[in-house]
Amino acid sequence: MNLTRRLAPLLAPSLLAADFGNLQSETERLAGSAADWLHFDVMDGRFVPNISFGIPVLQAVHRHAQQPIDVHLMIEEPQHYLSAFRDAGAANITVHYEACPHLHRVVQQIKQLGCRAGVALNPHTPVGVLEDIAADLDLVCVMSVNPGFGGQTFIPNTLRKVAALKELLVDSGSSALIEVDGGVSLDNAGALVEAGADVLVAGSFVFNSPDPVATLALMRQQLAAVAAGEEEDK
């Protein structure tokens, strides 16, 4: 069975690594860049040991954004805030498996709001927990660091996990995209695409570079070559 992806992955720079004092210009300069989505990390200081930003900041970013906003909720009881995030401009809403005892209901709620529904897995959570819900999902976010902070080191086991998830999705008839989040750079992005990743989130690698727009263009170019190479190998 061919488990390789035919297209270059979507790129989702994480605004967690942007300059918060200049979110308007940070958002605007990504317009027309190789960014397909803008990744927006919400942290509550409970599910993860850090607090980032929330609904009013999303509203502000959305006013200046050209790309769809990919909201990653690292919060407890996300079910209470789904419609508020949708109203503030979320195109995708991803909740954590570990934060949702009634995950099926939460996923249906997100879809009823008209958003793409995603589920994120912490590094220790096996992909098999999604077996009975895979067909309902639009997105699975594989955390390649422990969530809560930008700038952490990529966990190498993620490659094996992405490949296992790809197989699970194919077997379940699911068209969910596989997103990888944390420590992504051009050191590991090619291998992630080969393993089956469809969406790459990158914070520090993009925003800590001298020219984030050029870095995104370089990622797009190199990963398109990886995807094209896979096509040729078949």
Q: How far apart are CA 73 and CA 113, in angstroms?
A: 16
The CA dihedral of 165, 166, 171, 172, to the nearest 10 degrees, is 70
Cα–Cα distances in angstroms (integers) from residue 3 to residues 20, 45, 81, in the given order = 39, 38, 36
Binding mask 36-65 for ligand DX5 (x = CB under 6 A): ---x-x------------------------
Take residue 50 and report the two structure tokens written for it: 């850090």
Partner from Zn ion, ligand DX5, none contacting 150, C-beta within 5 to 8 A by type: ligand DX5
Backbone angles phi, psi at 203, to 5 degrees: -100, -80
Q: Is 70 in the site for ligand DX5 (CB under 6 A)?
A: no
* Residue 181 near ligand DX5 by CB under 6 A: yes
Which of 81/205 has CB closer to ligand DX5? 205
Of the candidates 70, 78, 124, the one whose C-alpha atom is nearest the C-alpha of residue 102 is: 78
| 24 C-beta neighbours (distance < 10 Å), count | 12
42 binds, among Zn ion, ligand DX5, none (CB under 5 to 8 A by kind): none
User: For ligand DX5, which stretch binds (CB under 6 A), given 20-28, 88-96, 103-111, 201-209?
Assistant: 201-209
- State the nearest-atom distance from the C-beta of 110 to ligand DX5, in Å: 18
Residues 145-174 that bind ligand DX5 (CB under 6 A): 145, 147-152
41 is catalytic: yes
Q: Which two tokens stand for residue 5?
A: 């992806």
Q: Is 204 a residue that touches ligand DX5 (CB under 6 A)? A: yes
Among residues 36, 41, 70, 198, the one annotated as catalytic is 41
19 Cβ contact partners less than 8 Å away, ≥ 6 residues apart: 26, 207
Query: Which run of H or E residues covers position 2?
Result: none
Residues that bind ligand DX5 (CB under 6 A): 14, 16-17, 39, 41, 72, 145, 147-152, 181-184, 201-205
Looking at the annotation, which residues are catalytic? 41, 181
